[in-house]
Structure 1
Amino acid sequence: MKLRRTRMTIGTLMFAGAAVTLSAGSASAINWDHTRTYDGARVYFEEHGDIVKVCDTSKNGHAAEANVYENSPGDVGYTITVTTGTGTCKSRRASQGPMYNLMEGNNTYINLDGNGGTSYTYKWLNDH
């Protein structure tokens, strides 16, 4: 009887270990190409898949906002606004639709605002 319980315990532990390994292995971390922080907001940009992530980093009572454009800041683009509080983020990626699919070989501009007033524009060449 004692041997049977030991086998069941070992089997249970092996199954739990395999489940943890599978769940950890299936999650893929993004190795961001570009990261910038400005006045209570942080933006991450991954060129492969055109992923833009914006996070609110300050308890200043203002949303974090990023305006994303191609070629020049006056071009039509899209906006990501994080209104859910400090430490929260929102993201967009090319697979969500044509407006989020940034052209390779073009400059990508991200205007970042985290304090409800001033902002800063970052520019990167989207080359992959």
Structure 2
Amino acid sequence: MRLKNLLTAVAAALVVTAGTLVVASPAQAVDCDHVWYTDESDSIGSVDQGGRLCFAEHGDYVYLTDYDADGYSVVLDVFMDGTGQLLYTLRAAGAGDVQTANAGDGIAFHNLPEVNIRFRMYLTKSGSGPVGEVTHVVNNDH
């Protein structure tokens, strides 16, 4: 009886721990100041193309998500808007793939300067050019 109670308690603790890990996943860790999607009007034969960008200014958190299993990858180019200097590129490939960058991850260009930053996001597939492109400029003042 005692062993059964112990095993029940351990199982309950594991369920609670697993639930906590799911809730606190990296894509949920910050509130997005800006959220954008690939332009669905640039049809590639599917109305559900699937690129999403979340940007949180404080900490320069970027989450790029491919949320559709359509063979297309989502690409993000991050530029300094005034100079046009490419700071970095992320690529999410495959449904559910999330690529991240932030000021504290140890990669110099992920710590964005406090100027206007241009985000260019699009879909691409082997043998095709960019489709569904969207561009947004943010005054990164945090």
Shared fold per TM-score greater than 0.5: yes
Gaps of 5+ in 2: 40-49
Q: Which residue is equivalent to 2:46?
A: none
Q: Which residue is equivalent to 1:13?
A: 9
Contact 2:77 2:86 in 1 (8 A): no
2:76 to 62, 66, 69: 66
Structure in which a larger fraction of residues adopt helix: 1
**What is the CA-CA distance between 1:127 and the residue it aligns to?**
1.8
Q: Which residue is equivalent to 1:122?
A: 136
State the distance in 1 between where 2:99 and 2:78 align.
13
**What is the CA-CA distance between 1:71 and the residue it aligns to?**
2.6
Trace 1:1-128 onto structure 2 (pairs within 5 A): 5=1, 9=5, 13=9, 16-17=12-13, 20=16, 24=20, 27=24, 29-39=29-39, 40-72=50-82, 74-83=84-93, 85-96=94-105, 97-104=107-114, 106-115=115-124, 116-118=129-131, 119-128=133-142
Contact 2:64 2:90 in 1 (8 A): yes
TM-score, with structure 1 as normaliser: 0.74
**What is the CA-CA distance between 1:101 and the residue it aligns to?**
0.3
TM-score, with structure 2 as normaliser: 0.68
SS in 1 for 2:16: helix
State the distance in 2 between where 1:15 and 1:89 align.
30
SS in 2 for 1:24: helix
Aligned residues: 122
Q: Report which of the two structures shows the higher radius of gyration computed on alpha carbons.
A: 1
C-alpha RMSD of matched pairs (Å): 3.0
